[in-house]
Amino acid sequence: MKKIFPADQLARDERFVRLDTAERFNDPRTIRGSGSAGRMGRQLSPESPGAPDAARSLMHGIFVGEIQALEGAGRTCWDFDIGKGSDEVPFELKLDMARQCWDEARHCEISVKLSDWMGTELGEFAESVFLYEAACNPDPVLRLTGVNRALEGLAIDVFNTMREFGTKAGDPVLEFCEDWMLADEVTHVKMGSDWLRRLTANDPGRRERALEFQRVVDKLFSLGGARGEDEESPIKLARRFRELAGFTTEEVDEISDLSRDARAEAMARTGGGD
Ligand SMILES: [Fe+2]
Ligand SMILES: [Fe+2]
């Protein structure tokens, strides 16, 4: 079986619609921090007319992300041999990835049922495969930093925001689904933080390359600054859960600054109005 399996050959049935990342971000239903009417530029609130569609779009994006997280963690078990080389991994890292596969498979099932509960058809929103693409990095440390720390870190922020939205909307199904998945994502992000520190303890250059890859992924997927700590941020940066997942206060501050920059850039591009 081949190593580093290409993203365009991932198995999907006819319900799924693939778009590249740029096209997906241009879908007017995609959540973002700034944009024209019809785009969800403010906090998710049950009173806002765009909230149900924004919530359904966001959770469909999470659902396809769960499939790709399962595929990516599975590939990381397979793509690297056990050893101490830069293209090898400790056996214990594979065990963590196997545990993650189990969790992500459960998240796929939860997401399918939650989508049905929210009135969403599978494939109603498009899939872009950026999470899986980050999971194709040939360096296992960059792979875990880009996927587990950056993208699953974003998943922590989304799950926490959606859990609060479920509470406000009086929807216990949404609230509990988000709460259970949030608990697992904290574990997955912590795996990324722990392996980054362990595998680069004596290699500062590799650690810096990994952190730079994380910064690039974080900026690219801050959704035009939708994720942040400002009052109007649609997706709240979940500071406490990120600290539980091995982020230092300075690292969370950096993500917060980066999101604010992305929001300012997006507002400048769109003329400043939501
Ligand atoms: Fe997940
Ligand atoms: Fe995960």
pLDDT 10s digits, 171-220: 999 999 999 999 999 999 999 999 999 999 999 999 999 999 999 998 88
Taking a C-beta distance cutoff of 8 angstroms, is the pair 156, 238 a contact?
Answer: yes
Distant-in-sequence contacts of 18-24, Cβ < 8 A, 24+ apart: 18/126, 18/127, 18/128, 18/129, 19/126, 19/127, 19/128, 20/128, 21/128, 21/130, 23/126, 23/128, 24/126, 24/127, 24/128
Backbone angles phi, psi at 88, to 5 degrees: -130, 165
CA of 40 to the centre of ligand 2 (A): 25
Q: Looking at the DSSP assignment, which residues form a beta bridge with residue 252?
A: none
pLDDT > 90: percent of the chain: 73
Whether the predicted pLDDT of 41 surpasses 70:
no
Taking a C-beta distance cutoff of 8 angstroms, is the pair 15, 122 a contact?
Answer: yes
pLDDT for 37: 32
Q: What domains can you pick out in the chain, each with its CATH number?
A: 15-269 (1.20.1260.10)
Whether the predicted pLDDT of 255 surpasses 50:
yes
CA of 243 to the centre of ligand 2 (A): 16
Place of tokens 């194709």: 136
The mean pLDDT value for 222-238 works out to 85
pLDDT for 272: 57
CA of 267 to the centre of ligand 2 (A): 31
Question: What Å distances lie between residue 71 and 17, 126, 131, 264, CA to CA?
Answer: 17, 18, 10, 34
CA of 111 to the centre of ligand 2 (A): 13
Ligand index nearest the alpha carbon of residue 147: 2
CA of 154 to the centre of ligand 1 (A): 11
Query: DSSP E strands: which ranges in the chain?
Result: 81-82, 88-89, 227-228, 235-236
* Overall pTM surpassing 0.85 (yes/no): yes
Ligand index nearest the alpha carbon of residue 66: 1
Whether the predicted pLDDT of 40 surpasses 50:
no
CA of 188 to the centre of ligand 2 (A): 5
Place of tokens 């966001």: 58
CA of 206 to the centre of ligand 2 (A): 24
pLDDT 10s digits, 239-252: 999 999 999 999 99
Whether the predicted pLDDT of 24 surpasses 70:
no
Give 113 or 52, the one with higher predicted confidence: 113
CA of 224 to the centre of ligand 1 (A): 23
pLDDT-based confidence at 39, cuts 50/70/90?
A: very low
CA of 104 to the centre of ligand 2 (A): 6
Report the 10 Å Cβ neighbour count for 166: 21
Can you state the percent helix, strand and coil of the chain, rounding each to 5? Answer: 65, 5, 30
pLDDT 10s digits, 68-106: 999 999 999 999 999 999 999 999 999 999 999 999 999
